[in-house]
Amino acid sequence: GTANIGVVGLAVMGSNLARNLASREGNTVAVFNRSYEKTETLVTEHPEAGFIPAKTYEEFAASLQKPRTAIIMVKAGRPTDAVIESLMEVFEPGDIIVDGGNAYFPDTIRREKAVRETGINFVGAGISGGEEGALLGPSIMPGGSDESWVTLGPILKSIAAVAEGEPCVTHVGHDGAGHFVKMVHNGIEYADMQLIAEAYDLIRRGTGKSPAEIAEIFAEWNRGELESYLIEITAEVLRQIDAETGKPLVDVIVDQAGAKGTGAWTVQTALSLGVPVSGIAEATFARSLSSHPEQRAAAASLPGPDEAFTVADQDAFIEDVRQALYASKIVAYSQGFDEIRAGAAEYNWQIDLGAVSKIWRAGCIIRAQFLNRIADAYAAEPELPALLTAPYFADALSRGQAAWRRVVIAAAQAGIPAPAFSSSLSYYDGIRADRLPAALVQGQRDFFGAHTYKRIDKEGTFHTLWSGDRSEIEAEDTH
């Protein structure tokens, strides 16, 4: 074989990734697709790439140098399993199969285990950045073995996005670590988008400014600490005028947000790990709420506040919203990184959180200036108990918290939903609280279920005889 890398699955993502690979010095790319038409089209349209097309899995394997390395870019789920099975029939021990699709990380753990038993390496790699990222440079989150990283590392580094001279790829951890981190990336993306949407809604309803005027506000924010791809594209979307009606496009788009499931995975996983990712959860639920038109129609007659919403000082309000957005964003990222740390502990992955923040600086949807601050925080203190306690973020929160409270109060009084802003503020107040009413919850649990409690003043586990004389006894620890 003469190709050093192969791609299986030549739909949008696969063909762009194959072209990206072929454009880099030193790569020769073998390509295969279940139906040959896609292969033929790609090879004909891009003669400059020098692709080596294969009609069968046998031909594909024969065209690859050993150890063979192939990246799968097909539909997640059953199709991915089908392709892995076919590749296992033609590959040999030491070869490397990479799944670059959006797999659910438990599937990746299962596949890695099954493939490893044959001596073939399996790497689940999260690839972010969509079509354009695949072509020009994505952020890549590979898991898998150390052995496979030796061969795969240089190839992935050659195609990844570059941030401040560093390629946006790192060996995240073993087996499913890469897909886990990609999942949390998408969850954070949900939170980021919802926060921006709440900021837009509050400004629009509070000031009466047009979408185009608000686009200018976002463009301005994009020159400061909020600088990010999502803020940038928000300005673009808000500026867009619908050709058919002459109205702002945002006003003719149906207000029901779709989802492909990665936000839900992030929240489900967080629930099982016991990590409160309330920002991501509220963002995911906000999409669900929007997508139930029958319920919304039935509830539309429920009353809101009596008075109309007006803000006295528009510029001051807009600045408050900016600060609320930044503070809430810090909370969302802090929660997301908590989930990665908890996942690493649960599944025995050695994940460098600073390295993760660095590979998100370019190529992916949540790319932002902000990620440099996260990298700095973990560089200064790798065992940081929570991102929001790092000096830079703690300072930003203490500067922004008054504005954040004013915005949440204004939203509540005006009857404007701000689930991500307000839940993030509640999280902030919860995590920094000296005493929480969790003590009362423990009392309730002990009352109805004899679940016991600890005391602040002595060691041991206790139970009150609620249905007896209400004296306290020492109990066995049952949590």
Q: How many residues bind ligand NDP (CB under 6 A)?
A: 23
CB of 353 to ligand NDP, least distance (A): 21
User: Using an 8 Å Cβ cutoff, are 170 and 205 in contact?
Assistant: no
203 binds ligand NDP (CB under 6 A): no
Task: Find the catalytic residue in 182, 198, 282, 329.
Answer: 182
13 binds ligand NDP (CB under 6 A): yes
13 is in an annotated binding site: yes
Residue nearest ligand NDP by beta-carbon distance: 101
**Rounded CA separation 36/325 (Å):** 49
102 binds ligand NDP (CB under 6 A): yes
82 binds ligand NDP (CB under 6 A): yes
Q: Which residue in 1, 23, 34, 90 binds ligand NDP (CB under 6 A)?
A: 34
102 is in an annotated binding site: yes
Phi-psi region of 240 (alpha: psi -120 to 50; beta: other; left: phi over 0): beta
Between 74 and 407, name the residue whose CB sits nearer to ligand NDP: 74
Site string for ligand NDP, 228-267 (x = CB under 6 A): ----------------------------------------
Can 476 be counted among the known catalytic residues?
no
101 binds ligand NDP (CB under 6 A): yes
The torsion angle over the Cα atoms of residues 80, 83, 89 and 93, rounded to 10 degrees, is -50
101 is in an annotated binding site: no
User: Using an 8 Å Cβ cutoff, are 461 and 452 in contact?
Assistant: yes
Q: Which stretch binds ligand NDP (CB under 6 A): 78-86, 153-161, 237-245, 433-441?
A: 78-86
Q: How many CB atoms lie within 10 A of CB 161?
A: 23
39 binds ligand NDP (CB under 6 A): no
Site string for ligand NDP, 125-154 (x = CB under 6 A): --xxxx------------------------
Task: Find the catalytic residue in 38, 112, 189, 294.
Answer: 189
Can 189 be counted among the known catalytic residues?
yes
Between 55 and 399, name the residue whose CB sits nearer to ligand NDP: 55
11 binds ligand NDP (CB under 6 A): yes
Between 188 and 199, name the residue whose CB sits nearer to ligand NDP: 188
Between 83 and 377, name the residue whose CB sits nearer to ligand NDP: 83
From the list 62, 68, 60, 65, the residue with the least C-alpha distance to 9 is: 60
74 binds ligand NDP (CB under 6 A): yes
Between 16 and 269, name the residue whose CB sits nearer to ligand NDP: 16
Q: Which residue in 4, 28, 33, 121 binds ligand NDP (CB under 6 A)?
A: 33
38 binds ligand NDP (CB under 6 A): yes
1 binds ligand NDP (CB under 6 A): no
292 is in an annotated binding site: no
Binding-site sequence positions: 9-14, 33-35, 74-76, 102, 128-130, 185-186, 190, 260, 287, 445, 451
Q: Using CB under 6 A as the criterion, which residues of the chain lie in contact with ligand NDP when the complex forms?
A: 9-14, 33-35, 38, 73-76, 79, 82-83, 101-102, 127-130
Active site residues: 182, 189
